[in-house]
Each structure stands twice: as C-alpha cells, then as structure tokens.
C-alpha cells in the first residue's frame, strides 16, 4: 500500500506490516516518519533494534544475514536499512526475504527520492504487497500550511490567518526553518494566539542566524557572509548534522537541476519538478551558472566526507569540511586542489 506522511500516522494505530519503505528528499519529514514508526514498533513489542548503512563497503545480504537471529532479551526485532535504492543483487535479496519473511521481524528501508521507474520495479512492488511505502516528498502549499498548523498545535500555540500566511511565505516550504520559527514563537508567547504584528516582531528581533540563512546565502554566492553564518552557528552550538542536512538538501536539488539542464530540459520544467519556489528561482539559477561537472563531484564528495566525520568514521574535523562545503556552494574554492 502507498501512503503519504499523514496516511502513515493514521495507519500506525493498527498492527504493523512486514516492511516499510520511507522514500523521498524531504529529510525532516522522513526522519519524523521514522521516529513515529520506531515508537509504534516498540509499543507493539519490537524491543530490539539494529541499523545497517548500505554503501560501497556493505551489501544488502549483510543486512538480512541475522534476520532470523533474535536476542535472548527480545522476541521481536526492528531492522532499519539506510542507503540508496537496491542494486540488482540487493533487489533479489529483498524479494527473496519478502517471500518468506519472519513474522517477528519488522523492516524499515530509508531511501532517497525514487524515480518513477524504481517505483514500478519488482522489489518495490513486493514491498507494497507485503507492507507500506511512504512518499516523503516536498509538501504542497496546502500541506505545508497544514504541517505548520499541526506544529503550532503541538506547542499549544495558534496563529491567526494573517500570521499563518506570513509564516508560510517567510519560510517558503522549508520545514526546518518553519520548525525553528514555531519553536521560537512558543518560547516568546507561550500557549496563546499570535497575530501578524507579533510574528513580524519575533522575526525582526531574532539576532541569530538560522540554518536557512546559511543555505540561502551560499546559494546567493556571498562567500564572506556564508563563512560568518557558519562560524555563528558553530559558536551557538548548532548540531553539525543539521548544518549538513540543510546544505545537503540544497546540493541534491542543484544536482538534479544541473543534470536536467545537461539533458537540455527547460529550467521552468525543472523548477516545477523540484518544487523550487518562485522567490528562490533567481538565486538558484545564479548558483547553477557557477557549477560544472567537476564542482558537482567535489560537492558530493564533501557531503560524504562530512557525514563520515560527524559519525566518527574519519579523522577530519566536521566543521572544517562544512566550511569547505558551504564556501564551494557559494562558488569559492578554499584550497587550490579542491576543484
């Protein structure tokens, strides 16, 4: 069965299925869906959890190797698999597992955005037949407004119509930026109703930079301000993983746009496909002009290096890599041999 994020939340009131596939490029939505699944799984007895990250050094078979082995302290196991879409060998492993899946196992696949062809493949159809696939795609304008409204309700906060519209325009579909603003409003005004004047005051009085400021400034090509914002975020104790997330989101979008332009597709069509808001299009187009194939490869290599540094899988300082990454996105090479 196919669900969106809200459909999944409703479904979680029922007994869980054999497998769940969370796919899409809206990382925050995907993370929240994963957390909701984890909580429900624990309540339903899946008290043991293991995680597998599939990359070039690991294959899909390794993730299922211990699927029948249970802990002495648990009778049900949750297996999370994070990676790219299965290759041919991985697809066969997944299809074979689903033909005779142990009842005491729950599989969650966390994957990036899948193209239409992948969603018609045998392995994906097998997942739909045995479980649930969840699209974590960027939200429509209506869904975004509903998401903010729900976020406010969780904080026992409400925005009047003008304030809600203004916040949607201010954050332009960026879930993380919207989440930060709602949290700030709840801290400032408590459990109350917020009007447009209060919203504008809260936004104008914020002296600190946000993660969204970092990505927007880098896209605009202002390297000096980009470095200033990054150092400010570091000094404020911002998590490296969130900085990487916001840069990664922009770079992945740029990669898809760049590939599309190389294929001769019109930018207007690509902007619509990638949900680039009208106010962002001029800045994104400017960023695309700074890119070439070599720089795109460097950006993606730096994303991987930053992720490994944050996880402690290499000896580099994560903030050093994030500086190189954000400046490269702004069009500046920090070291001569980087691009």
pLDDT in tens, 62-107: 888 766 555 545 578 999 999 888 989 899 999 999 998 888 899 9
Query: 2-135 sits in which CATH class?
Result: alpha beta
pLDDT in tens, 147-156: 999 989 988 9
Q: ∠ CA(277), CA(306), CA(284), 5° rounding?
A: 20
Cβ burial, residue 120 (10 Å; 0-12/13-18/19+)? exposed
Question: Residue with structure tokens 């974590």?
Answer: 136
pLDDT in tens, 249-278: 889 989 999 888 888 898 888 888 887 877
pLDDT in tens, 156-177: 999 999 999 999 888 878 887 7
State the average pLDDT for the chain. 86
Rounded CA gap, 207 and 177, in Å? Answer: 15
Q: Where are the domains of the chain?
A: 2-135, 141-204, 211-329
The CATH architecture to which 141-204 belongs is: Orthogonal Bundle (1.10)
Structure tokens at 63: 């993730």
The CATH number of 211-329, from 3.10.105.10, 3.40.50.970, 1.20.272.10, 3.40.50.80, is: 1.20.272.10
The lowest-confidence range among 164-178, 217-231, 240-254 is: 164-178
What was the pLDDT predicted at 339? Answer: 36
């Amino acid at each position: 069965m196919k669900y969106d994020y809200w459909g999944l939340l409703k479904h979680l009131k029922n007994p869980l299925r054999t497998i769940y596939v969370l796919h899409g490029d809206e990382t925050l939505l995907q993370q929240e869906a994963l957390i909701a699944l984890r909580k429900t799984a624990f309540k339903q007895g899946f008290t043991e959890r293991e995680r597998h990250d599939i990359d070039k050094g690991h294959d899909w078979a390794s993730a299922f190797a211990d699927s029948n082995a249970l802990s002495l302290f648990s009778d049900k196991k949750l297996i999370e698999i994070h990676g790219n879409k299965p290759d041919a060998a991985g697809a066969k492993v997944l299809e074979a597992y689903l033909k005779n899946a142990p009842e005491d196992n729950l599989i969650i696949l966390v994957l990036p955005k899948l193209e239409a062809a992948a969603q018609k493949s045998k392995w994906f159809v097998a997942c739909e037949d045995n479980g649930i696939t969840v699209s974590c795609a960027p939200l429509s304008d209506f869904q975004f407004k509903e998401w903010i409204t729900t976020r406010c309700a969780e904080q026992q906060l409400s925005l009047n119509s003008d304030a809600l519209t203004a916040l949607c325009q201010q954050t332009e579909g960026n879930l993380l930026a919207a989440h930060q603003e709602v949290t700030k409003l709840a801290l400032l005004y408590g459990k109350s109703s917020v009007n447009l004047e209060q919203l504008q005051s809260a936004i104008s009085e914020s002296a600190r930079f946000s993660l969204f400021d970092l990505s927007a400034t880098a896209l605009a090509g202002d390297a000096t301000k980009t470095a200033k914002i990054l150092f400010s975020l570091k000094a404020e104790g911002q998590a490296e993983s969130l900085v990487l997330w916001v840069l990664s989101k922009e770079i992945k979008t740029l990669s898809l746009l760049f590939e599309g332009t190389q294929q001769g597709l019109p930018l207007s069509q690509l902007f619509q496909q990638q949900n680039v808001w009208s106010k962002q299009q001029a800045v994104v187009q400017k960023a695309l002009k700074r890119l070439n194939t070599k720089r795109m490869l460097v950006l993606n290599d730096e994303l991987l290096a930053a992720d490994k540094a944050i996880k402690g899988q290499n000896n580099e300082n994560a903030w050093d890599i994030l500086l190189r990454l954000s400046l490269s996105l702004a069009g500046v090479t920090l070291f001569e041999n980087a691009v």
